[in-house]
Structure 1
Amino acid sequence: MEEERNDVLSWPLIGEEENKSSGLKEEVKKQLWLAGPLIGVSLLQFCLQVISVMFVGHLGSLPLSAASIATSFASVTGFTFLMGTASALDTVCGQSYGAKMYGLLGIQMQRAMLVLTLYSVPLSIIWANTEHFLVFFGQDKSIAHLSGSYARFMIPSIFAYGLLQCLNRFLQAQNNVLPVVFCSGIITSLHVVLCWVLVLKSGLGFKGAALANAISYWLNVILLSCYVKFSPSCSLTWTGFSKEALCDIIPFMRLAIPSALMVCLE
């Protein structure tokens, strides 16, 4: 009798363990469903610059060296900083979405876009003087000159990159990542064609690769902007442009700057 009573008492505990196990499995599935596409997006967007450098490699070792150095310089001084700054949206948009304050997501994205666009101005000035920085740090003058030219043609891409990061974070906060993957896949495929035309057929040479980066980033911004504007899934979170985006810029920057520095240091 004692053993039977113990068995009966243990049934609820067994049920609780099974519920916890099934709940854990469901949570793992959700995380993988969200993380998998995000990894794909990161790889696809990173591939843009790699593809450009690969096409420049057909022009010779000197252009290849210059494009590689310019790309590395741009990543350290621009792209990484903007990506870290935009990561502040992971916090604020996540909080707003969790609190069901859906209208705030669009306002926060606009605020981040404004801040990142302002940041892009001094960063573009740094890119415009890439040659001087490289010479100062002891780089060969011929390579530094070509790297400076490549970086100047990449300047339009830094403004698009900041906007693109904000759009990515805006959709990610809503667990809506498949459109980002789809658009990134289209742009990466198109980027191969752009590089082939601009680098090998147009006569622009290695400058065409930098220009292809800018065009691809801007096309990605346009595609995602159209999705946010016209998709029913964003009807609650995007309600149009608002003057409220001009408020609370300083608090956002206080959150964004440490995030940017953390990513840059990594």
Structure 2
Amino acid sequence: MTVNVLINCLQMISVMFVGHLGQLPLASASMATSFAAVTGFSLLNGMCSALETFCGQSYGAKQYHMLGIHLQRAMVVLLLVSLPLAAVWFNAGDILRFLGQDFEIATEAGHYARCMVPSIFAYAILQCHVRFLQTQNNVLPAAAAAAATAVLHCFVCWALVVRSGLGNRGAALANAVSYWINAAAMVVYVRVSPSCRKTWTGFSGEAFCGIVNFLKLSIPSALMHSLEIWSFEMVVLLSGLLPNPKLETSVLSISLNTCSMIYTIPLGISGAVSTRVSNELGAMRAKAAILAGRVAMGTVTIEGAIVATIIILDRRLWGYFYTTDETVVGYLAQILILLAVVHIFDGIQSIFSGITRGCGRQKIGAFINLGAYYVVGIPMAIFLAFFQGIGGKGLWMGIMMGVFIQSLLLGILILCTNWDNEVKKAGDRISRSVPEYVLE
């Protein structure tokens, strides 16, 4: 949880600095951040989550050397994917204007996204190393590096946003600097730490041999993760089409930024249960995998109740961290009540998603997310916001319905799981990933 919160808070800190420059810089930085999440970070994060299955099950089966091979394979794939994504970011302004966004906001967002381009390559490397360590239950180094980076990021933002006078472009550059610092720290740790001696044995040509098998799981993983993230980010793009787009975009962006930040808490638990389930399936312990799921569900239920209560109690204060505009602060306080409800259901689905990833059933998860958000959630959000005139609140209500359907369908999938079959599938997957000369 700590690693997820600290890594994802970098963009939140940047937006907070920009928010005090005015409503236009806040709206443009928020939109650019959402655009980057939709077209880059979510895809990389989703593809990288395939490591939770491959590395987790290999570690459970004590095939330690394969973790380093999986890591290298993931980095090769993600860095190649980052190239076209960087081109999309470079042309973000034109794309946003083509989608009908406010001209001023889209133009400034385009400048912000261009300055964010170096971030995407660092993010790919960082996430691969975090998952690599996570699946072998070695998360303290990643937490320490992320904490140090988050503290340093505050000073980098101050220097580039306030001191240098670069404004919102300085915040985008600060993101790039901090992501690269964090990624470099992880790379050095994995290469020199004695704790990684068994799992990192140096660079190997084997990493290029199993790319097709990696893609077979990483692409559904990316779809499963991205379909959900895209629906949330679409709310910000849709808010730009509402009356008073600067206000709506600012408030919806802040609320989404807040939602993303607090979601990193159940996302951390989701990563933990994914690791535990994949480890236990790799070790052929089905009952232990079931127990891990139950423990995670109990944990996230308590977390959801606590966080939702805090959000509701502090809803009138949170907006002042981003802006001093009373209109924005008051509107945000109303949205945060809906966000608190969304967080509870989002936590539940995150655990079900983690169990699904641990089993390697991302294809089914992708279809569930597609139906929940794009058959139910987004159409409902559009209907309530534009046809019923509810505005930004209607957008969040539609998303809330999508999260509920997603939780329900994933829950049914988990309840119907045959765990003995999942153990057998894990064994088959591990056998396919190990080179033939090792088996001989």
TM-score (ref. length: structure 1)? 0.84
Q: Per-residue deviation at 1:128?
A: 1.0
Alignment partner, residue 143 of structure 1: 105
Q: 1:129 aligns with which of 91, 94, 116?
A: 91
Partners of 2:210 and 2:136 lie apart in 1 by 22
Matches within 5 A, 1:69-88: 69-88=31-50
Question: CA offsets, 1:134-182, max 9 Å, x none?
Answer: 1111111111111000000001001111111100110001100111111
Which structure's relative contact order is higher, taking Cα pairs within 8 Å and 6+ residues apart?
A: 1
1:99 to 2:61 alignment: yes
SS at match of 1:59: coil
Q: 1:89 aligns with which of 46, 51, 54?
A: 51
Gaps of 5+ in 2: 229-440
Q: 2:73 aligns with which of 95, 104, 111?
A: 111
Partners of 2:65 and 2:186 lie apart in 1 by 18
Which amino acid in the other structure matches residue 168 of structure 1? V
Q: Per-residue deviation at 1:186?
A: 0.4
Question: CA offsets, 1:104-143, max 9 Å, x none?
Answer: 1111101000100011011111111111111111111111
Partners of 1:70 and 1:166 lie apart in 2 by 24
Aligned residues: 228
Alignment partner, residue 118 of structure 2: 156
Q: 1:197 aligns with which of 126, 140, 159?
A: 159
> How high is the sequence identity, in percent, across the aligned residues?
60
Q: 1:165 aligns with which of 123, 127, 131?
A: 127
Matches within 5 A, 1:33-44: 39-44=1-6
Gaps of 5+ in 1: 1-38
Question: CA offsets, 1:226-263, max 9 Å, x none?
Answer: 11111110011111111111111111011100000000
Question: CA offsets, 1:177-220, max 9 Å, x none?
Answer: 11111111000000000000000011222111001101111100
SS at match of 1:65: helix
Matches within 5 A, 1:183-194: 183-194=145-156
Partners of 1:100 and 1:216 lie apart in 2 by 35
Which amino acid in the other structure matches residue 40 of structure 1? T
Partners of 2:18 and 2:8 lie apart in 1 by 16
Alignment partner, residue 212 of structure 1: 174
Q: 2:11 aligns with which of 40, 49, 54?
A: 49
TM-score (ref. length: structure 2)? 0.51
Alignment partner, residue 182 of structure 1: 144
Q: Please give the root-mean-square deviation of Cα atoms over the aligned residues, in Å.
A: 0.8
Alignment partner, residue 64 of structure 1: 26
Partners of 2:198 and 2:63 lie apart in 1 by 9
